[in-house]
């Protein structure tokens, strides 16, 4: 196949180019997707600004992006799960299926994971910010008629939120604290509401994202920079919070949240922030349960189903979309938390 495509390729920090590449052949079990819409993620921003995060750095030009939806344009002869013309959300995660963790039922911990737009391995796994994408058919989940590509592209971050909520156990009747209300925190609020939380308290250091999470189902929003006494209120009587899902990766947010948790409360650490210190005495005395949450697996299909069925309206998180020729402008807007929540790139606009 000699057809070519356009991809948003990062060559160095702040050096994002629209490169032309060759598509190549569609192999067994694969499909060609005409990408419609893609969402800019926090990891994309880290690559764009710093060339990576932690020890992970780009060593070669890499197409960014992993939150995409589009339309199937071609399928291999052996593919039966989707057909040409199907609208699909594309799961960026492709576990190997045969390592010890895949066989144990933990595919999100796969030792040979291939994840779109990742520099964790070399050669890097190229991302999905392109107008044509060859992927495995098993990565495609059908999008219902009437569901916009914009909403479909939110399936991946929503999956992250759903997985975090599942790690916390039952939320029925629980008071839940969501700390850090960026796009992932917003998705956690939506997921917690679906999972039966009795009350959702959302915190951040700026007002703008709190408006968005309010629309997604948060009962109480707190700007912790403007209301420093909030911890004392929720820490009364050994704590008022049943479950905290920490999405900021900030040490102060985690420590404050621990103070507000009631005995035998649950902490799910979702945000990444590097090494932090925690008060062991609080964890021990309150018998708190702490755990991490990493990516997702089965939640992706569930996310698409919930969006398809209209069980959740994620539209409040969408700030604006740009054509792919405006990608740098899109990344600059997405970097401003006061002006943007989720910025999308429309890959159907080619001029």
- The arithmetic mean of pLDDT across residues 253-281, rounded, is 95
- How far, in Å, CA of 61 to CA of 11, rounded? 4
- How far, in Å, CA of 241 to CA of 3, rounded? 55
Q: Is the pLDDT of residue 326 over 90?
A: yes
Q: Is the pLDDT of residue 351 over 50?
A: no
Confidence of residue 274 (pLDDT cuts 50, 70, 90): confident
Best CA proximity match to 6, nearest among 127, 136, 139, 151: 127
- The arithmetic mean of pLDDT across residues 257-263, rounded, is 98
pTM of the full structure? 0.96
**Beta bridge partner(s), residue 1:** none
Q: Retrieve residue 247's tokens.
A: 């999405």
- How far, in Å, CA of 19 to CA of 287, rounded? 53
pLDDT at residue number 2 = 57
**CA 213 from centre of chain:** 15
Where do the domains of the chain lie, and which CATH numbers do they carry?
4-154+314-346 (3.90.180.10), 159-292 (3.40.50.720)
Phi, psi dihedral angles at 120 (to 5 degrees): -70, -20
- How far, in Å, CA of 50 to CA of 315, rounded? 29
Q: Is the pLDDT of residue 74 over 70?
A: yes
Cis ω on the peptide bond leading into residue 165 (within 30° of 0)? Answer: no
Residue 97 Rama label (left phi>0; alpha psi -120 to 50; beta): left
Q: Is the pLDDT of residue 243 over 60?
A: yes
pLDDT at residue number 349 = 72
Percentage of the chain surpassing pLDDT 70?
99
- In the three-class reduction of DSSP (H, G, I as helix; E, B as strand; rest coil), residue 91 is classed as coil
Q: Is the pLDDT of residue 1 over 80?
A: no
- The arithmetic mean of pLDDT across residues 171-185, rounded, is 98
- How far, in Å, CA of 170 to CA of 151, rounded? 27
For residue range 202-231, list pLDDT tens digits in order. Answer: 999 999 999 999 999 999 999 999 999 999
Helices within the chain (DSSP H only): 42-50, 100-103, 149-152, 155-167, 183-194, 208-216, 230-235, 251-260, 280-286, 299-308, 327-334
CA geometry: angle 194, 68, 298, nearest 5 deg: 45
pLDDT at residue number 310 = 97
pLDDT at residue number 350 = 52
- The arithmetic mean of pLDDT across residues 83-98, rounded, is 98
Q: Is the pLDDT of residue 110 over 50?
A: yes
- The arithmetic mean of pLDDT across residues 84-93, rounded, is 98
For residue range 137-170, list pLDDT tens digits in order. Answer: 999 999 999 999 999 999 999 999 999 999 999 9
pLDDT at residue number 292 = 97
User: Over the chain, what is the mean pLDDT?
Assistant: 96
Percentage of the chain surpassing pLDDT 90?
96
- What's the alpha-carbon Rg for the chain, to the nearest Å? 20
- How far, in Å, CA of 160 to CA of 43, rounded? 13
Instruction: Work out whether the CA dihedral 312, 69, 149, 32 comes out positive or negative.
Output: negative
Q: Retrieve residue 140's tokens.
A: 């495609």
Secondary structure of 219-233 as H, E, C letters: CEEEECCCCCCHHHH
- In the three-class reduction of DSSP (H, G, I as helix; E, B as strand; rest coil), residue 316 is classed as helix
- The arithmetic mean of pLDDT across residues 90-114, rounded, is 97
């Amino acid at each position: 196949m000699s057809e070519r495509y356009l991809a948003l390729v990062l060559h160095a920090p702040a050096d994002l180019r629209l490169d032309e590449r060759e598509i190549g052949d569609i192999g067994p079990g694969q499909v060609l997707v005409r990408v419609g819409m893609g969402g800019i993620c926090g990891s994309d921003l880290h690559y764009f600004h710093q060339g990576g995060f932690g020890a992970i750095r780009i060593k070669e030009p890499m197409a960014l992006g992993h939150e995409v939806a589009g339309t199937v344009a071609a399928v291999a002869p052996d593919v039966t799960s989707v057909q040409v013309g199907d609208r699909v959300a594309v799961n960026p995660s492709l576990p190997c299926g045969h390592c010890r963790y895949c066989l144990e039922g933990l595919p999100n911990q796969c030792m040979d994971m291939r994840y779109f737009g990742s520099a964790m391995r070399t050669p890097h796994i190229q991302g999905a910010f392109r107008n044509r994408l060859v992927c495995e058919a098993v990565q495609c989940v059908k999008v219902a008629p009437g569901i916009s590509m914009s909403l479909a592209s939110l399936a991946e971050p929503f999956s992250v939120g759903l997985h975090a909520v599942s790690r916390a156990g039952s939320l029925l009747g629980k008071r839940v604290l969501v700390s850090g209300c960026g796009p992932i925190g917003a998705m956690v609020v939506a997921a917690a509401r679906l999972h039966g939380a009795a009350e959702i308290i959302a915190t951040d250091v700026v007002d703008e994202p709190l408006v968005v999470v309010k629309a997604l189902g948060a009962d109480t929003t707190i700007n912790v920079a403007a209301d420093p006494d909030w911890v004392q209120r929720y820490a009364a009587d050994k704590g008022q919070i049943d479950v905290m899902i920490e999405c900021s990766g900030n040490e102060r947010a985690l420590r404050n949240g621990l103070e507000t948790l009631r005995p035998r409360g649950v902490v799910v650490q979702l945000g990444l922030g590097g090494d932090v210190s925690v008060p062991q005495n609080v964890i021990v005395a309150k018998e708190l349960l702490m755990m991490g949450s990493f990516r997702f697996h089965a939640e992706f299909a569930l996310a698409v189903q919930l969006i398809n069925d209209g069980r959740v309206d994620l539209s409040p998180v969408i700030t604006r979309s740009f054509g792919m020729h405006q990608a740098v402008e899109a990344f600059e807007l997405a970097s401003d938390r006061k002006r943007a929540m989720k910025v999308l790139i429309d890959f159907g606009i080619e001029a």
